[in-house]
Structure 1
Amino acid sequence: MEWFELKNVDQVDSPALIIYKERIIENINLLKTMIDDVKRLRPHVKTNKITEVVALMIAAGIEKFKCATIAEAEMCALAKAPDVLLAYQPVGPKVIRLLELVQKYPDTMFSCLVDNMDAATKISDAFAAIGKKLKVYVDLNVGMNRTGIKPGKAALVLYQQLQQLPGINTIGLHAYDGHIHDTDMATRTERCNEAYEPVHQMVVDTVISGLPAPIVVAGGSPTFPIHAQRHTIECSPGTFVFWDFGYARNLPEQHFKYAALVLSRVISVIDQQLICLDLGHKSVAAESPQPRVQYLNIPDATIVSQSEEHLVLKVNDSSQYPVGTVCYGVPLHVCPTVALYEKAYVAEQQEVVATWKVIARDRQIII
């Protein structure tokens, strides 16, 4: 049997998300070999959204995490994560939700991002009102052009002004360079270093201004090997834990293993070359052009069309794939794919042994 084939697959309805526990652990261990100090790892949990997966990372000695939603932050707290950065600037009701999160889970140290004085003041007011201080990082725009303030004089002034707010404790800088994902490692390194240089200069200028050196959290999966060489910063890869064929194709220097697959079945044989599977838009991330899934056991497949509940494939000989054939696919983009499932089937030694709730796919757990 191939590594991905399940001995008790008849117990799994399709479409389904299958995660392979041994491979998750191997990926975590590989990540640790790629950096000089595990304390510099701050993985992003948006990929997995599963409490038990966070617990596996904690068991491996990882204590810091990054997330994008209040629910993901709460999931980390449920796993007893010591340190959680909400890599988002909370506005409106999210400020109160974050405050409630801090109160409910006192054993976890929470922090968040800010990129302007107004938002930071509202956060400060909420926390100061109950005699608390929240750690914050200034979000720097290093080219993603999504959130953040560009590193430089204005960002330094903001960093200095934030020190005066009574309900926050500004401790660091956050620099996400998600726009840098060149396949060529030399090009990616050059672009990453160029984007990071003004961040480094801001650290220098902050110290010159008389403030402590800020903690820097930088990068994602594509730039992780580059930032890992900067021995004073924290790094935030996320996809490594499950991996997908988008990153496997574009980041050939990273040798993580596929640890999350979508399982589907042939539900109709259309003609000698066309077959239909039960894997529609609702079962694999649909934001990218096709192919959105790559089948490990149908190597000759070409995607013809996809709708909400159906996926039509062209194969060399449809007689090789009769109705009921189980198909194991690697998502192009695993992060939003995971969020489409309420639960994941957990495989060990090629058998499904448990189900884990994808608890942070929801916007709210308790808080």
Structure 2
Amino acid sequence: MHEWYKIDNIDQIDSPALVVYPKNVAHNIELTKQIAGDIDKLRPHVKTNKMAEVCTMMLQSGIKKFKCATIAEAEMLGTVNAPDVLLAYQPVGPKVSRLLNLIKAYPNTRFSCLVDNMENATFISELCKRGNIVLNIFIDLNVGMNRTGISPEKALHLVKQIIPLENIRIVGIHAYDGHIHDENVEQRQKASDISFALANNIFQETEPLFSYPLALVMGGTPTFPMHANRHNIECSPGTFIFWDWGYKNMLADLPYQYAALVISRVISLIDKHHICIDLGHKSVAAENPLPRVHFLNAPDAKPIGQSEEHLVLEVADSGLFKTGDVLYGVPVHICPTVALYEKAFIIKNHEMTTQWNVVARNRYIQY
């Protein structure tokens, strides 16, 4: 009996390569919908998958709202007619014009973006006015990530400053709490309660200033199950779609399945206890210390050295391997790993059937 990940026609795939299992992707989508309870609470982040076909799978499952981090990801969502796309990034400089070009090019998609200061809000509004566009924006709050966003105590003042601007329209509050990833569920719940309280206080102060309901967007993969139980909130998990070793071993309460792997081959038998494979820095995310990948069919192999095109593994007995052997690896961090590949090989019933372009790995598609 084959292990679930084994590929019968593996000789048709050169290594290193990214492989995706749509059956597991579908499982992860359905599990996310179950956890959310209400599909309207979901606004998945597409930074992990960067593939139009995966986004189409989410659309076909009933998900209508999405989040992204780059203009290319936003454009990818426009090409598949995603109804609602939040660029979870404050555009500056040429990015503003690029976003406005997307709004004109994809009229069936409702685009929005983040803002966290008045100077940039004014700049965006002025460009929108020149283009005869009214752009929807979310006020970005810093609730502990300390990366972007305005301090909560200053947010209401910013809202009141922005309201008179004619060509941008506040539609919600955004608060990413990516600093929360406690393994203990109770601790993660307590930490997410604190971040939610900060955001909700601003939300409650802000919403009465408008004649229409606002949205509150919070949570990545670790905290979205906590936020999904709250009223009037949109959750933005991203890594869930493919899953990885890091979250698998950190978030034991979330039974997602690996849906994307990297395949590699043994290229040299160094000595009795060391082998080398073709999985270098260019093929798996290298921002974490070793090990950066774990092998499903060689679980005891220990990565001890890596360079651009090589990964040296310590093994119990190199005699158990031969050059050309295929190793199936689970990256510690899948999101930046996907971005290293131009395409993914699609595996169905143990066969490579087609390829999907990792179209949004580039900073530009057209716009």
Alignment TM-score, normalising by the size of structure 2: 0.98
Cross-structure match for 2:83:
82
How far does residue 210 in structure 1 lie from its aligned partner after superposition? Answer: 6.0
Cross-structure match for 2:348:
348
2-structure distance, mates of 1:133, 1:83 = 15
How far does residue 160 in structure 1 lie from its aligned partner after superposition? Answer: 1.8
Cross-structure match for 2:157:
157
Cross-structure match for 2:61:
60
2-structure distance, mates of 1:142, 1:266 = 46
**DSSP 3-state at the match of 1:287:** coil
Cross-structure match for 1:131:
132
How far does residue 126 in structure 1 lie from its aligned partner after superposition? Answer: 1.0
How many percent identity over aligned positions?
55
Cross-structure match for 2:198:
198
How far does residue 356 in structure 1 lie from its aligned partner after superposition? Answer: 0.4
Cross-structure match for 2:97:
96
How far does residue 212 in structure 1 lie from its aligned partner after superposition? Answer: 4.5
Cross-structure match for 1:264:
264
**DSSP 3-state at the match of 1:205:** helix
How far does residue 64 in structure 1 lie from its aligned partner after superposition? Answer: 0.5
Cα distance, 1:210–1:174 mapped onto 2, change above 3 Å:
closer
Matched, 1:15 2:7: no
How far does residue 131 in structure 1 lie from its aligned partner after superposition? Answer: 2.0
Cα distance, 1:52–1:159 mapped onto 2, change above 3 Å:
same
Q: Is the 8 A contact 1:70 1:364 kept in 2?
A: yes
2-structure distance, mates of 1:114, 1:123 = 9
Q: Is the 8 A contact 1:266 1:278 kept in 2?
A: yes
**DSSP 3-state at the match of 1:34:** helix
Unpaired stretches in structure 2, ≥5 consecutive residues: none
How far does residue 238 in structure 1 lie from its aligned partner after superposition? Answer: 0.3
Matched, 1:5 2:26: no
Cross-structure match for 1:119:
120
Q: Is the 8 A contact 1:203 1:213 kept in 2?
A: no
Unpaired stretches in structure 1, ≥5 consecutive residues: none
How far does residue 200 in structure 1 lie from its aligned partner after superposition? Answer: 1.1
**DSSP 3-state at the match of 1:255:** coil
1-structure distance, mates of 2:128, 2:209 = 27
**DSSP 3-state at the match of 2:202:** helix
Matched, 1:232 2:232: yes
Cross-structure match for 1:274:
274
Cross-structure match for 1:51:
52
Q: Is the 8 A contact 1:136 1:172 kept in 2?
A: yes
Which shows bigger deviation, 10-19 or 203-212?
A: 203-212
Letter in 1 for 2:168: I
How far does residue 308 in structure 1 lie from its aligned partner after superposition? Answer: 0.5
Letter in 2 for 1:73: A
2-structure distance, mates of 1:97, 1:202 = 30
How far does residue 316 in structure 1 lie from its aligned partner after superposition? Answer: 0.9
Letter in 2 for 1:315: V
Letter in 1 for 2:323: V
Q: Is the 8 A contact 2:291 2:304 kept in 1?
A: no
Q: Is the 8 A contact 2:70 2:363 kept in 1?
A: yes
**DSSP 3-state at the match of 1:270:** strand
Cross-structure match for 2:303:
303
Q: Is the 8 A contact 2:216 2:234 kept in 1?
A: yes
**DSSP 3-state at the match of 2:282:** helix
Q: Is the 8 A contact 1:206 1:213 kept in 2?
A: no
How far does residue 231 in structure 1 lie from its aligned partner after superposition? Answer: 2.6
Cross-structure match for 1:25:
26
Cross-structure match for 2:329:
329
Structure 1 outlier segments of 4+, above 2 Å: 207-214
2-structure distance, mates of 1:108, 1:207 = 24
**DSSP 3-state at the match of 2:101:** helix
Q: Is the 8 A contact 1:45 1:72 kept in 2?
A: yes
Q: Deviations over 1:59-86 (max 9, x none)?
A: 0000100000000000011111010000
Cross-structure match for 2:219:
219
How far does residue 156 in structure 1 lie from its aligned partner after superposition? Answer: 0.5
Letter in 1 for 2:335: C
Cross-structure match for 1:69:
70
**DSSP 3-state at the match of 2:36:** coil
Q: Is the 8 A contact 2:20 2:259 kept in 1?
A: yes
1-structure distance, mates of 2:150, 2:300 = 47
**DSSP 3-state at the match of 1:25:** helix
2-structure distance, mates of 1:350, 1:210 = 54
CA RMSD of aligned residues (A): 1.0
Cross-structure match for 2:108:
107
How far does residue 213 in structure 1 lie from its aligned partner after superposition? Answer: 4.5
Q: Deviations over 1:197-222 (max 9, x none)?
A: 12111122124556655310001011
Cross-structure match for 1:177:
177
2-structure distance, mates of 1:35, 1:52 = 22
